[in-house]
Amino acid sequence: MHDPHLPLLELHRHLSGSIRPQTILALGRQHNIPLPSDDVAGLLPHVQVVGTVPDLIAFLAKIKLASTVLANVDACRRIAYEAIEDAHHEGIAYIELRFSAQFLANPHHLPQEAVIEAVIDGVQSAVRAFGIKVKLIGVLSRTLGPAACLAAVEALLRYRDHLVALDLAGDEANWPGHLFIEHFRKARDAGWQITIHAGEAGGAANVRQALAELGATRLGHATNAIHDPALLDLMGERGIGIEANLTSNIQTSTVPNLASHPLRHFLDRGLLATINTDDPQISGIDLPHELQVAAPQAGLTPAQIHQAQQNALAIAFLTPAEKETLKAAAI
């Protein structure tokens, strides 16, 4: 259960995986974009995982379908606003929302800068409306290749003051991190924090690479780090944050079931692991579900769930003063 004396934080949530099914339908109708169904019940199997899919790529295909309705920048602004509204209704006090302008822009060849501006604008409007604290993380879609990602970094850097970090997501198995060393050097030079999807669809070596060559201080998923005890020791020594995503990892067949998820072992070792949703609309879950249902099923004790919440505050991309303000508001 969520400890009411701690602020509820979400550190790993993708905008592209947070698009409401009702909004997909509305935008599809508005822009005459064909969809597999013209009602929510018929659409859900195409944009939401029921049970599991064979791998990460099959999971990403559902996100791709949801993004086909982003016909203009107003659509991008709308989904950004609604993602923050939904987070507010979940009781979240602070969220780091990550987005790939490449991914959002590609279906209808929108200019990346315009998409970035629209996302920033939508988020700022929602912050004013709901009083939630938000920081944005830029994402590079590794699946599009290093050259396209370099252009994406340059586009994001034009809005560097509106972003707090850079992430690398997408097809980890076929696009290894060493192809993106220059991209993350530029990001670090700009003063951004670094979080990397690693050890989800690839092995522990990918986690080591993200730490050594990309400068990650946090890792998305990192499930396969569990197979390398020396790596876990290194992560502990360095205070590396782990953005764990329980339901998502089962759905992508990264982990066979919740009982075998490594999160409780990470917490047992004192690692700074946290609980997050990843792509809540695709997974059909929210953060309270992950804390109240998924975490106990993954073998976490109430004390470990509490520790994961404390860890989220410790590793959030916030200043010490911002953390104190959040803590004070929750008491």
Q: Which position among 172, 200, 243, 290 bears the catalytic label?
A: 200
How are the residues of the chain apportioned to helix, strand and coil, as percentages rounded to the nearest 5? 55, 15, 30
Count CB neighbours of 41 within 10 A: 8
Active site residue 324: no
Q: How far apart are CA 60 and CA 67, in angstroms?
A: 11
Return the number of other C-beta atoms located less than 10 Å from residue 133's C-beta: 18
pTM over 0.95: yes
pLDDT (tens digit, 0 to 9) for every residue of the chain, 331 residues total? 567 789 999 999 999 999 999 999 999 999 999 999 999 999 999 999 988 889 888 888 999 999 999 999 999 999 999 999 999 999 999 999 999 999 999 999 999 999 999 999 999 999 999 999 999 999 999 999 999 999 999 999 999 999 999 999 999 999 999 999 999 999 999 999 999 999 999 999 999 999 999 999 999 999 999 999 999 999 999 999 999 999 999 999 999 999 999 999 999 999 999 999 999 999 999 999 999 999 999 999 999 999 999 999 999 999 999 999 999 998 7
| Coil, helix or strand at residue 286 | coil
Type of residue found at 26 = A
d(CA 112, CA 18): 19
